[in-house]
Amino acid sequence: MAYQSTNPFNAEVLATFVEHDAAELESRLARAADCYDNAWRNTTFAERAAVLAKAAAIMRERTDEFANLITLEMGKLIAQSRGEVQLSAAILDYYAENAERFLAPEILPTKTGEAIVESSPIGVLFGVEPWNFPYYQIARFAAPNLMAGNVIMVKHASNVPQCAQAFEKLMQEAGAPAGAYTNLFISKDQVAQVIDDVRVRGVALTGSEAAGAVVASRAGQNLKKTTMELGGSDAFIVLEDADLERAVKSAVMGRMGNAGQACTASKRFIVVESLADAFLAQFKAALANFKPGDPMNKETTLAPLCSEDALQHLLNQVQQSVDKGARVVIGGARMDHPGAFMEPTILTDIDTSNPAYKEEFFGPVALFFRVADENAAIALANDSPFGLGGSVFTQDIDRAKRVASRVETGMVFINRPASSAPDLPFGGIKNSGYGRELSGAGIQEFVNKKLIRVA
């Protein structure tokens, strides 16, 4: 597995990194285990918080430095890269400020004696992280678990190695001891080796269904706790009493953010018949306004996909969909522009036999469905192998809440596209994975809930 930084805007190879050999991997594993046993687990919440708060401050002070690496390596619009840096810093601060409260001992009511549940760290944790949000994905795994007293090892995506190194250096600069946070440049075979290693006690993955199945299976063979944040095909439900202007604006944000390369991006637009034509016309007009260009230029509105391979995969998906009867409303092809650019695309007339009906499209491709009523919208939203997030648009908030309760996902947002914040739990069900990150829930995944009973 080559760790290579390639600018998707101009195909320039920026840097190449050598995978760790067996000796280097063993050295890093041993250092992490030693750090946990003899240093980090014995620190106080205040000592851990000081490290995370310092890391957050550094990210804010050097926002452009961190953001530029994101844009250069995976092509995100620079304004969105800066936003990701700020969100990552906020997550670090959030756990620095709240972890001790989240993990405070819980006194259980008993008829006799005492019963106390303590939360304690479990050891070395291994994370496999994706490229689409190079710092945010790490922050939401590392911050709660470092504050819980665990130590972290991360195998990042092979196309964002500079971001991977930058986060490791950030933690070192913030005062984390050697081994508290470790970046790994390793192969797939070495990933299996790390999961098998007895010093590793938990595994987290954010990525595809296929990767999740492989990693969860391997961890399961070793009886190790896992969390999986996998793909999504989020439904965007527009009911007949929705604010149309707001719904269209949110649809554009929900589909086009990060060039559509987000697991929680709005992907299936399900609109009740009475608004369907007007919504589709306005949505199409809005997507036609996106302009490709250098993502470092603040005037650019359409970023490239992360790589040429990602573009080709998306183009193949669109072609297969059309071959099976889907109709292209707008876009559908590669842009006549240097770089890995995909035309903003809308597909409709997608029946249940079309592969697009069940697939995730990771890029600026929207699937449009018209339905008769609320019940049909909910049924279509739930007819998916995924269950990550979703949105409901109606001016009747009580109605929106009732619909949200019937949608089978881990998250539902009312009158807005999906978003993320440090204090909101993040995660899904079905093929979108299991476990939660962020909020108070995120810090509870990899701790020992130890009962202490006094008779």
Residue 172 CA neighbour count, 13 Å, CB half: 10
- All structural domains of the chain with their residue ranges: 3-230+432-454, 234-421
**pLDDT score of 1:** 55
The partner residues of 384 in beta bridges, in order of sequence, read: none
Q: Strand, coil or helix: what is 151?
A: strand
Query: What are the phi and psi torsion angles at 374 (to 5°)?
Result: -60, -45
pLDDT digits (tens, 9 = 90+) for 334-374: 999 999 999 999 999 999 999 999 999 999 999 999 999 99
Examine the pLDDT at 451 and tell me if it is beyond 80: yes
Active-site position among 129, 263, 306, 343:
263
Examine the pLDDT at 79 and tell me if it is beyond 90: yes
Q: Which two tokens stand for residue 370?
A: 């018209």
Under 8 Å between Cβ of 432 and 382 = no
> For residue 420, which of 388, 454, 379 has the smallest C-alpha distance?
388
Q: Assign domain 234-421 to its CATH superfamily.
A: Aldehyde Dehydrogenase; Chain A, domain 2 (3.40.309.10)
Check if 263 is active-site.
Answer: yes
Under 8 Å between Cβ of 324 and 353 = yes
Under 8 Å between Cβ of 435 and 422 = no
Check if 73 is active-site.
Answer: no
**pLDDT score of 117:** 98
Over range 26-33, report the average pLDDT.
Answer: 98
Q: Furthest-apart CA pair in the chain: how many Å? A: 75
Over range 60-89, report the average pLDDT.
Answer: 98
Strands 106-107 and 365-371 come out as unpaired
Q: How far apart are CA 392 and CA 247, in angstroms?
A: 9
pLDDT digits (tens, 9 = 90+) for 279-314: 999 999 999 999 999 999 999 999 999 999 999 999
Percent of the chain with pLDDT over 90: 99
pLDDT digits (tens, 9 = 90+) for 163-198: 999 999 999 999 999 999 999 999 999 999 999 999
Under 8 Å between Cβ of 387 and 428 = yes
**pLDDT score of 2:** 81
pLDDT digits (tens, 9 = 90+) for 91-127: 999 999 999 999 999 999 999 999 999 999 999 999 9
Active-site position among 73, 129, 168, 229:
229
User: Under CATH, which architecture does the 3-230+432-454 domain have?
Assistant: 3-Layer(aba) Sandwich (3.40)
Residues 6+ apart with CB under 8 A from 38: none
Q: What is the mean pLDDT of the chain?
A: 97
